[in-house]
Amino acid sequence: MTMDRQPMIDQWYPVALASQLPAGGRATQLMGTPITVLPGEPIRVVTADGRDLRITVRYGHVWTSLGDPAKELFDIPEADQPGRRLVEVGVVRVRCSPLRAVENFLDIAHFPFVHTDILGAEPHTEVGKYDVEIREQEDEVWATKVQFYQPQAAKSATGGITTDYMYRVPAPTSTVLYKTCPARPGEWDVITLFVQPLTEELCDVWPWMALFDDETALTDLIHFQQMIFLQDRSILENQIPRLLPLDPGREIPTRADLTSVAYRRWLKRHQFTYGAQLVAQ
């Protein structure tokens, strides 16, 4: 059986932390293909049959592609802003579709139930109206004017506040969250989820952050984000099916899910379907 070339082949994916490469390299896989990330100057990513893949090092991570990306890796301008602390959170493996991992990150309605007393708490469960668009020029999904009550919005937050969020999906398995910065009103903290698709139902997730916070110890910042993501993991591993359904009849969205609806539509439009279920089974 021959298959059309999956357009996700030509995207960039994170495959290692540049600062944490073991001397012998990191043996891993990308979309089912075994690869090795080799330390050195420059860092190399090679396949089992000796092919050198294109690489770029940004946001603390080594990025590569099995294909030929038409564009450079998406830009996060805040990453270069002076005064921000760049936080490498590490990697967590999750037995779920890489697309499910991204979609969960775009969701706020689960905060009171999954991140109880940290990112959300009953009775403050209501998700108000927010704006969602697919920005044609950038070809990105954006959700703006998202607001939600948070009992402890970040490691440096001491009380409950109404937090503002913006969500952005610049690549099929990468997503960037901008949220109220408690330490510096007027600026946004940047929290990302970079997802490495190992297979359609298995992924390595690399959270990364660019924060204004001079108070909190770096380890505490790392652990806060690890805690949040690990609370999500048991959800992600128990959704049925493991693949993200793109068939509209399979799952029921509400107004709170408009970011997810736009994300799925955008995936479908580009045939970014590695990790997706096209027809309900």
Partner 1 sequence: MPVEMHRDWIPVALSADLPAATVVPAHTPSGILALWRSASGKLTALADRCPHRGMRLSYGFVRGEALSCIYHGWSYGRNGQCQRIPAHPDLAPPAAIKAANYAAEERNGVIWIAQEEPETPPPALEGFKPLRSITVGADAELIAGSRDVRMRLAGIDALLLIVGTGGSETVAHVMVDAAASEVECVAASRAAEGWRRDCERLGRKDLAS
Partner 2 sequence: MILYDYILSPDAYKVRLMAALAGVKLNLRAVDVHPGREHESEPLRALNPAGSIPILLDGDLILTESAAMLVYLARLEAPTWLGDDNAANAARVQQWLAFSRRLTDHLGGARATEMLSEPGDLPALQRAGTLDLRELEAALTERRILGQTFLASDRPTVADIACFPYVALAPDGGVSLDPYPSIRLWTRAIRMLPGFIEMPGIHRLHELKPEPLSTETPETV
**Contacts with partner 2, residue ranges (CB under 8 A):** 17, 20, 88-93, 95, 113-114, 116-117, 122-126, 129, 204, 217-220, 222-223, 226-231, 233-234, 237
Applying CB under 8 A, which of residues 209, 256, 258, 267 lies at the interface with partner 1? Answer: 256
Chain length of the chain: 281
- Residue 168, both tokens: 């952005």
CB 197 within 8 A of CB 205: no
Of partner 1, partner 2, none, which one sits near residue 144, judging by CB under 5 to 8 A according to partner kind? none
Contacted by 241, from partner 1, partner 2, none: CB < 5 to 8 Å by type: partner 1
**Partner in contact with 245, chosen from partner 1, partner 2, none, beta carbon below 5 to 8 Å by kind:** partner 1
As a whole number of angstroms, the distance between CA 199 and CA 29 comes to 8
- The reply on whether position 261 binds partner 1 by CB under 8 A is no
The answer to whether 267 and 276 are in contact (CB under 8 A) is yes
Exposed e or buried b for every residue in 128-152, given b needs 16+ CB within 10 A? eebebeeeeeeebbbbeebebbbbb
- The interface partner of residue 70, options being partner 2, partner 1, none and the CB cut-off 5 to 8 Å by kind, is none
Instruction: Rank residues 50 and 123 by Cβ distance to partner 2 and give the closer one.
Output: 123
State how far the Cα of 76 lies from the Cα of 94, in Å rounded to an integer.
25
Q: Does 234 participate in binding partner 1 (rule CB under 8 A)?
A: yes
Q: How far apart are CA 211 and CA 251, in angstroms?
A: 35
Using the minimum distance from each CB to partner 1, give the nearer residue, 55 or 96: 96
Q: Which residues contact partner 1 (rule: CB under 8 A)? A: 107, 109-110, 112-114, 122-123, 125-127, 234-235, 238-241, 245, 250-256, 281
